[in-house]
Amino acid sequence: MAVTKCLRISPLLFMMMGTLAFLAASCSQTAFAQDEAVLGELKKLVVHFDRVTPDVYRSGLIPEEAAPLLKELGVKTVINFDNDDERAQKEAAYLKLFGIYTVWIPWSGWDRPRDQDVEKFLSLMREPRLKPVLVHCKRGSERTGVGIAVWRISEFNWTAAQAYDEMKHYTYRRFLQGHLKRYVYEFARKHGESTARITNGFEQMKTSLFYFFFQLRKLNPFWHRHSRV
């Protein structure tokens, strides 16, 4: 009798399970469509805005009108590499209004990032409670490109070449800022990729000369006015 009763109930259970599965799938599709719509709006508003992984985004400077869209997308944390303090403070203020936490790690794209800043960035990227996270600088190309590159190498075992290809996709200025490519290759070599080297002799010479030139410019008292890129 018990078996017969179970058999009679089973179709009802299957119907309920099917209904729940359908509702869950419908909600998931609706949420995905909403996210894609918000993502499209942000790509119009914010230079180089893009999704890197499901919980990591990248971009250039964030205009104030983008803040509510970031909130709608679910972004919890913004990591800002922009080295303009006034601009960074203003951005942090309007993001805070929408409950978005900002971490400021300023450095100039004309220079190499400091090791301690890179370690701080990677430790933040490893923290699940901070995600979804948005990483950005001024253009969303050079400094953001380096940040995402070292994260890819450190956490996903990407090669330097793979990480560099992604940098180029976001209009990385390889001629002027070749020192950042060199930094990424050196980072990969330190993390076990022994073959990560720039073999083009002309590129090495050009990179060294440009980097030396920009280091000399630091002696100029007006340097800070021209280094915010």
Q: In which element (H, E) is residue 171 found?
A: none
CA 145 to CA 116: how far, in whole Å? Answer: 18
List Cβ neighbours of 227 (8 Å cut-off, separation of 6 or more).
Answer: 83, 108, 110, 111, 217, 218
CA torsion angle for 91, 95, 97, 102 (degrees, to 10)?
-100
List Cβ neighbours of 226 (8 Å cut-off, separation of 6 or more).
Answer: 217
Helices (H), the chain: 2-45, 67-73, 85-96, 115-125, 142-156, 160-169, 178-190, 201-217, 223-226
CA 8 to CA 129: how far, in whole Å? Answer: 46
With vertex at residue 71, the alpha carbon angle to CA 36 and CA 63, rounded to the nearest 5 degrees, is 90
**Which residue is catalytic, options 35, 85, 111, 165?**
111
**Which residue is catalytic, options 35, 50, 137, 165?**
137
Place of tokens 């330097």: 160
CA 147 to CA 187: how far, in whole Å? Answer: 11
Active site residue 27: no
Active site residue 115: no
Catalytic site residues?
111, 137
